[in-house]
Amino acid sequence: MRVAVVGATGMVGEIMLKVLAERNFPVTELIPVASEKSVGKEISYKDKKFKVVNLQTAVEMKPDLALFSAGGDTSLEWAPKFAEVGTTVVDNSSAWRMDVTKKLVVPEINANALTKEDKIIANPNCSTIQLVMALAPLHKEYKIKRVVVSTYQSITGTGVKAVQQLENEYNGVQGEMAYKYQIHRNAIPHCDSFLDNGYTKEEMKLTNETMKIMGDDTIKVTATAVRIPVVGGHSEAVNIEFENDFDLAKVRALLQNTDGITVQDNTDTNTDPMPLYAEGKNDVFVGRIRRDESQDKTLNMWIVADNLRKGAATNTIQIAEYLLANKLIG
């Protein structure tokens, strides 16, 4: 299969290449795509070298599949051009997520909605993916009324500029700032820009994308997104109110038996999900599972995942794997 990776030199693009190789996705020809300043550079993939091309060249090459991680403006302009030549696009940006004509997919939850006609498929926001992975089996069993989520998000979600800012601050070096404030020894209580309602774009992504992926707009979600000086993944404190009461042992079993989830919840050994241990892994880790004693039919939990993997690259490639396995591409 001829596969274009758009944004191949970026943080997510580099992880996409790793995940494609790790999962032995059947790439017969890799087409790395990046900005004009990177054109001609060589990218290594499975001990072979491939030259970076620009977007127009990649469209003209008519790949079977294009995996996009190059920002919303690039996706809005170029994803339709790939689709027009028959390429199936899986896009990591926010550009198409809430478009009513596009599917927003977490494969373990709603990949069965995909068809051959879906030429542009949206990959959800990183913090939303790990949230819905844990919510979906519980919603099916107990029906969720309301979710309160506070996220503690890795600087890698902002990009390489933020990683460099933190490293500079560790070392007492003045440099370019990804954030308005120092991030070292700090927590910045907003991710992305503010909207008129006082929430940030990131917080409203958690609200709106959750309803779309779960296929249920009766689920109420309220979110607070916080940026912290961590690189391994995003963490979420989640409070879930159900329509029906639950059994804690069954909750743990439902989660543990869900593909892509690992339960780490042992208070005797202090075994909990942490970004330090989630980094480089494809699963979503769930722990601190306990009943909310202040309100009936309500559960607390803690969810952690590598935002560059399941939150971005891995989910994208799982979508591609589903398309291939079900003969929707290739």
Q: For 198-220, how does the pLDDT look when each residue is reduced to its tens digit (9 = 90+)? A: 999 999 999 999 999 999 999 99
CA separation for the pair 282, 314 (Å, rounded):
7
3-state helix, strand, coil in the chain (%, to 5): 35, 25, 40
Supply 35's token pair.
């900005």
pLDDT at position 283 is: 98
Across the chain, mean pLDDT equals 97
CA separation for the pair 129, 307 (Å, rounded):
9
Note the pLDDT tens digit of each residue in 101-128. Answer: 999 999 999 999 999 999 999 999 999 9
252 C-beta neighbours (distance < 10 Å), count: 16
Q: 2-124+312-325 has which CATH code?
A: 3.40.50.720
- Is pTM beyond 0.85 here? yes
- pLDDT beyond 80 at 165: yes
As a whole number, mean pLDDT of residues 45-50 equals: 95
Cβ(287)–Cβ(271) below 8 Å = yes
% of the chain at pLDDT higher than 70: 100
The residues with which 204 forms a beta bridge, in sequence order, are none
Q: What is the assigned CATH class of domain 127-307?
A: alpha beta
- pLDDT beyond 80 at 253: yes
Whether 126 is a known active-site residue: answer yes
Whether 234 is a known active-site residue: answer yes
- pLDDT beyond 90 at 330: no
pLDDT at position 210 is: 98
Supply 108's token pair.
């373990």
- pLDDT beyond 90 at 264: yes
Query: Of the listed 126, 139, 184, 191, which one is catalytic?
Result: 126
Cβ(177)–Cβ(329) below 8 Å = no
CA separation for the pair 180, 193 (Å, rounded):
12
Residues 6+ apart with CB under 8 A from 202: 125, 127, 151, 153, 190, 191, 192, 223, 225
Q: Name the residue ranges covered by the structural domains of the chain.
A: 2-124+312-325, 127-307
Per DSSP, 209 falls in state H
CA separation for the pair 5, 20 (Å, rounded):
10
Consecutive H or E run containing 85: none
Closest residue by Cα to residue 104 from 325, 319, 327: 319
Note the pLDDT tens digit of each residue in 314-325. Answer: 999 999 999 999
Long-range contacts at 100-108 (CB < 8 A, ≥ 24 apart) = 104/209, 104/212, 104/213, 105/213, 105/319, 106/132, 106/133, 106/136, 106/213, 106/315, 107/315, 107/318, 107/319, 107/321, 107/322, 108/133, 108/136, 108/258, 108/259, 108/260, 108/318
